Structure 1
């Protein structure tokens, strides 16, 4: 079970996100709720939460301050900011605390699902590589953390490079962090540019590309569906089937039958 914190001072907002997550990831997650930043920090520490949704605008200790405090004792937690405002200053702060992403409210279901799956992947990686929390080494901030809004004039070039890299490597186990690193940019800087130019997050774009490729392969009846999952960039055939069903409303077999018939 993945331990997930949802911190928002609005009870309705907490319940909406909680209901969505339980609907999408039933039996996979345990959810804890916090009404402010102080409670959020306490719960992450007490419950050892692997994923934390933090509303930025909370009274007292806001989400940004809570995230900064969480990072003093937990380098592993996937922090996802929730905000109603797309402010550049939030991106800069997110860089400092190495947040996984920040979602605009009300968030789209596909972005919520994809960021959760990315967080699951990160949690699994830590479970495999780290046996004891005391052995975790604190990461050093990237040299490009000091950003200025004029840097966003480079967005066209960065996006072209990113698109080319993703198109060439979508079959591999790549993440936003991988692509940002290859191109020489910080995670959140690249994340914001990607969203601004594509109108969707990196994870959503990658899954849409992979499913599009899978559809092409499925039109060829001579290719085994298990092989198609690998060719489309999914190591696990069952996981591929779940993503395909979620994004198309059909299983790979159902889609193939419809195309061939």
Structure 2
């Protein structure tokens, strides 16, 4: 399955090329579109494609600059330049950036299919050492599961270290490594969950990692979350700590309760609680508390007998201007304007 990106500032050409690629018969994992070089480069930084089709003449950043930056970011990305300018100088400069094909507009289904066949061939030759067998992955998952279930932290660390050494030998690209580590986590969650004794919290996919070290660091942190979650459950703390934290936050919205205060209240390490809370809610502690405060403020604003200055204190803001600024950022209007929309004059 191949990840493909098309960069062209002309919508009709983007869509036409997209359709030709989709009709090529090649297995496509994703097909993203960019309307200029900067847009394409930002998307490439988030997730590298296998193949890039780019126009030469684009606003903000042209195709040549995009090719240069792409080659610097990941020289393994196979690039095809599509241009209406039959200019040998452009072709020469493109080749210096590792471009594999130079197609002239108007392009046809036949030329696109031929270009894709060439890219697929080059990709398979280059990436064949990157193969990691499903059997080997399942072995690592099984070893990690046994280490977590026996609460053997030392063994878990060794499993991760051994897997990293072997995986590194396959010379995976960053997005391939992230996909593999995500698959590792999904399989591990399923195995732990299938024991039908404790319900484990499913982990969110890895955040965008800038490099291999960052990807492995995030991956190890997720395994530690499984480890600590099991240890906590075996100690008899069967209440969901995040739900318990939410209840405590709700009951103390008028107070300046910190993450450390809540973590101590429910008996968790602050760093672990912070990760667990974000994994579960997709929000940081502060983001969640602010949202709940603003939602409560909306309810109070709907009650005419509450003065706006009193409401700020009710939701934990001793500084009234700070409250109005935060409310406007959250609701898109000032508290007084929100109240006016409800037909309340004061």
TM-score, normalization by structure 1: 0.49
Greater C-alpha radius of gyration: 2
Structure with higher RCO (Cα < 8 A, 6+ apart): 1
